[in-house]
Structure 1
Amino acid sequence: MFTTRFDLSMLRFMNPVDVYVKRLSDLKTAFLDTEVVENILKRYNPPVYIVEKFQTSNEDNNLIFSSTTLFPGTVGREFYFTQGHYHMREFAEIYFCLKGKGILLLKNNDDEHVLDFEKGVVAHIPGSWGHRVVNVGKEVLVFVSIYPTNAGFDYDRLKNEGGFRTRVLTHREKGWELWTQ
């Protein structure tokens, strides 16, 4: 199979080969306020984001095309975000925002960058940089990503570095603000 359909009105694949849902319980140690996380989880376990993938092969150097739907929401004052990761191999990745308003956090060891990420923005993420998307809007944030099948995900490196120091929090007047640990 060499083609697929992407529904531009729904911003979803018509026939993804893989779908997974990241729920709050999957990210509970990534948020600043773990007490708030535990209180929420006593009542329910909300989805934070959904990833749908399309790929034609698992062979090295083929491409994966995926879409991520990141829901609006907060844990305490901290906005919902994707787990964030480095790649096992230093392969670049392309992110293209189709809907919503967010922040793209980039990290390379102690060096961090904060980029606006909203509808129409295309971001080239260098292979040596970790990355995370934060939804600062009131609607879903949808983006597509393209990366090599053999890039792999390295969540442990991010965890061992203490995660992202930069956090995105709600702010009464500005809507959101950056906070650095």
Structure 2
Amino acid sequence: MRQGIIQSSKMFLVANRLEGKKVESSIRYLSDMEAVFMDKVAFSALDPQQPVYEVDCYFPVADNKSGGLFFGLTRIFPGKVGGEFFMTKGHFHSNNDTAEFYWGIKGKGLLLFMDKTRKVWAEEMTEGSVHYIPGNTAHRVINTGVEMLSFGACWPSDAGHDYGSIEKEGFSARVVEKDGKLIIIEE
């Protein structure tokens, strides 16, 4: 080792996964997402232990500590419930005015945004795409492809996550496939 240079031992990116100290991993299964999908008949026909997405997060500072950053990788499996694609639950930030960056690593999908007035818009997510998510904006990622969709995220450590608003009110739009085409259905 050269003088003045130290080897990082905190976090490593290995085969599209984060590994290391202070990395936490979680898996969301269909059974965790019953309220997310609209087609309850199609949902009930699927295996509740089917993974929908996996998340690895690096937390170098305490949650809610100002001045820090968190880093994460999410992998959404390909699949559908009825015509609706597998997706993340989606969230606002508890600290409403905090922003976030996402970037596409592998696969293709959509980043769905919803502001506080419930106006929605979407950006295509592909390998190498970079997305700025402004404050006061809910966001959810949808895998519209046939392979795993993987993306990175970086957000302030004091942003917090408000999943409850989305669980209660839902997003005001859904992305489905109909006759081989993507359609955004506003509710």
When normalised by structure 2's length, the TM-score is: 0.87
1:51 alignment partner in structure 2 = 55
Residues 119-146 of structure 1, C-alpha deviation per residue, up to 9 Å, x if partnerless? 1110010111000000000000000100
* Deviation, structure 1 residue 115: 1.1
Q: Letter of the aligned partner of 2:58 in structure 1? A: F
* Deviation, structure 1 residue 3: 4.2
- For 2:140 and 2:86, the matched residues in 1 are separated by 11
Q: Is the 8 A contact 2:110 2:122 kept in 1?
A: yes
In the TM superposition, structure 1's runs of 4+ consecutive aligned residues that sit over 3 Å from their partners are none
1:28 alignment partner in structure 2 = 34
1:86 alignment partner in structure 2 = 92
1:131 alignment partner in structure 2 = 139
Q: What are the equivalent positions in structure 2 for 1:32-43 lying under 5 Å apart?
A: 32-41=38-47
Residue 159 (structure 2) pairs with residue 154 (structure 1): no
- For 2:77 and 2:180, the matched residues in 1 are separated by 22
1:65 alignment partner in structure 2 = 71
Give unpaired runs (5+ residues) of structure 2. Answer: 1-7
- For 1:164 and 1:61, the matched residues in 2 are separated by 30
Give RMSD over aligned pairs: 1.6
Q: Please identify the structure whose Cα radius of gyration is greater.
A: 2
When normalised by structure 1's length, the TM-score is: 0.90
**13, 16, 30: which one pairs with 1:11?**
16
- For 2:164 and 2:19, the matched residues in 1 are separated by 33
Residue 127 (structure 2) pairs with residue 119 (structure 1): yes
- For 1:99 and 1:37, the matched residues in 2 are separated by 26
- Identity, in percent, stands at 33
Residue 167 (structure 2) pairs with residue 164 (structure 1): no
- For 2:89 and 2:102, the matched residues in 1 are separated by 15
- For 1:153 and 1:86, the matched residues in 2 are separated by 6
Residues 17-74 of structure 1, C-alpha deviation per residue, up to 9 Å, x if partnerless? 2000001011111101122212214xx4200000001121113321110000001000
Q: Is the 8 A contact 1:2 1:56 kept in 2?
A: no
- For 1:18 and 1:60, the matched residues in 2 are separated by 20
Q: Is the 8 A contact 1:28 1:37 kept in 2?
A: yes
Residues 132-174 of structure 1, C-alpha deviation per residue, up to 9 Å, x if partnerless? 00000000000010011121111122234x2112111123333
